Amino acid sequence: MNWLEAAILGAIQGLTEFLPVSSTGHLFLGRHFFGLDEAGLFLDTMLHLGTLIALIVIYWTDLLAIARKPLGSLGILLIIGTLPAIVIGLTFRDFFEEISKTGVTIGWEFIATGLILWYSDNLKEKGFKKVNDISYADALFIGTFQGLAILPAISRSGLTIAAALIRKVNKETAAYFSFLLSIPAIAGAVLLQSFELFEGQRELIPLSSLLIGTVMSGIFGYLAIKWMISILKRGSLKVFSVYVLLLGAIVLIAQLTGYF
């Protein structure tokens, strides 16, 4: 993997991690386009490190407050919201890794993401809950949706924002809680994959390419967070819904015709 390919994949990761369109699904397509299918989950996770840095830069004051009082109301909500992803991820990890390698269901997953986004954005009763109104049941519901997003083309941010909207959380707060909830999920994935690297279970990627990809992921992730918050303040998720529905249809047609 050369530096240009790494830069492009990093930009894809950064943009699509926080837009509700599935970063893992887009990275799968990007790797396939460049002939880098063997790069696999380790590359994906290292690029997630860049988006993790972007989150820390934007929410460092919130994270500092949580660190000072980890068992405060928001800290407990994040713990509850993270548990389903841990359980689902550890229980079905081998199965999901195999699906991620083949990409056989990726088209259907894009379509599923699009339908969920459309449904949640079309709810008649708009959300009113703010951070202090989120209950433990809400956090568990949103966290369960995050756990389901372990499938490669199911958008994590899309599902958690949609789940929050279903639980009557307002759009801006839904994005805020979704992005905070992604921090332990991404950090845990980076840590887990790092252990596997040291155990020799992953092939090494050139350090220069890895650094460039991580930096690009961080820069574009920062921009995507700001953009997504701005969109949810006044806009709709339907444009993202239509995009992933079309992308899923294209992928399915390509699979059926033997081009992918």
Q: Please tell me the distance from the alpha carbon of residue 155 to that of residue 64, in angstroms, as a whole number.
A: 27
**pLDDT given at position 151:** 87
Contact 85, 51 (CB under 8 A): no
**pLDDT given at position 249:** 97
Q: pLDDT-derived band of residue 222, with 50, 70 and 90 as boundaries?
A: very high
Q: How many CB atoms lie within 10 A of CB 141?
A: 18
Q: Please tell me the distance from the alpha carbon of residue 222 to that of residue 15, in angstroms, as a whole number.
A: 8
| pLDDT digits 0-9 by tens, 123-182 | 877 889 999 999 999 999 999 999 988 888 999 999 999 999 999 999 999 999 999 999
**pLDDT given at position 48:** 80
**pLDDT given at position 248:** 97
Q: Where are the domains of the chain?
A: 3-256
Q: pLDDT-derived band of residue 201, with 50, 70 and 90 as boundaries?
A: low
Q: Please tell me the distance from the alpha carbon of residue 133 to that of residue 135, in angstroms, as a whole number.
A: 6
Phi first, then psi, for residue 129 (nearest 5°) are -70, 140
**pLDDT given at position 89:** 84
Task: Provide CB contacts within 8 A for 53, sequence distance 6+.
Answer: 214, 218, 221
Distance, CA of 153 to chain centre: 9
Task: Provide CB contacts within 8 A for 174, sequence distance 6+.
Answer: 127, 160, 161, 164, 165, 232
| pLDDT digits 0-9 by tens, 4-52 | 888 999 999 999 999 999 988 998 898 888 877 655 556 777 788 899 9
- Nearest alpha carbon to residue 201 among 213, 193, 210, 211: 193
| pLDDT digits 0-9 by tens, 94-135 | 777 777 667 789 999 999 999 999 999 998 778 899 999 999
Q: pLDDT-derived band of residue 61, with 50, 70 and 90 as boundaries?
A: very high
**pLDDT given at position 198:** 62
DSSP code string of 148-171: HTTSTTS-HHHHHHHHHHHTTB-H
**pLDDT given at position 129:** 94
**pLDDT given at position 175:** 93
**pLDDT given at position 233:** 80
Tell whether the model's pLDDT for residue 241 goes beyond 80: yes
pLDDT exceeding 70 applies to what percent of the chain? 91
Q: pLDDT-derived band of residue 227, with 50, 70 and 90 as boundaries?
A: very high
Q: pLDDT-derived band of residue 91, with 50, 70 and 90 as boundaries?
A: confident
Tell whether the model's pLDDT for residue 59 goes beyond 90: yes
